[in-house]
Amino acid sequence: MYKSTHAVILTFVLTVAASAAAAESGDFERKLAACGACHGEKGDKPLAPDYPILAGQKADYLSAALRHYRDGRRNNPIMGAQVQALQLTEDDIVRLGEYFAQQTGPLATLKN
Which residues sit at the interface with ligand HEC, rule CB under 6 A?
Answer: 31, 34-35, 37-39, 51-52, 54, 62, 65-66, 74, 76, 78-79, 82, 86, 96
| CA torsion angle 35 39 44 46 (round to 10) | 170
* Least Å from the CB of residue 16 to ligand HEC: 28
d(CA 20, CA 58): 30
**Shortest approach of ligand HEC to residue 49 CB, angstroms?**
10
Which residue, 38 or 108, is less far from ligand HEC as judged by CB?
Answer: 38
CA gap 93, 70 in Å, rounded:
10
Nearer to ligand HEC, 7 or 41 (CB): 41
Q: Residue 27 contacts by C-beta under 8 Å, 6 or more apart in sequence?
A: none
Least distance to ligand HEC, CB of residue 28, Å: 10
Amino acid occupying residue 41: E
Min dist CB 20 to ligand HEC, Å, is 22
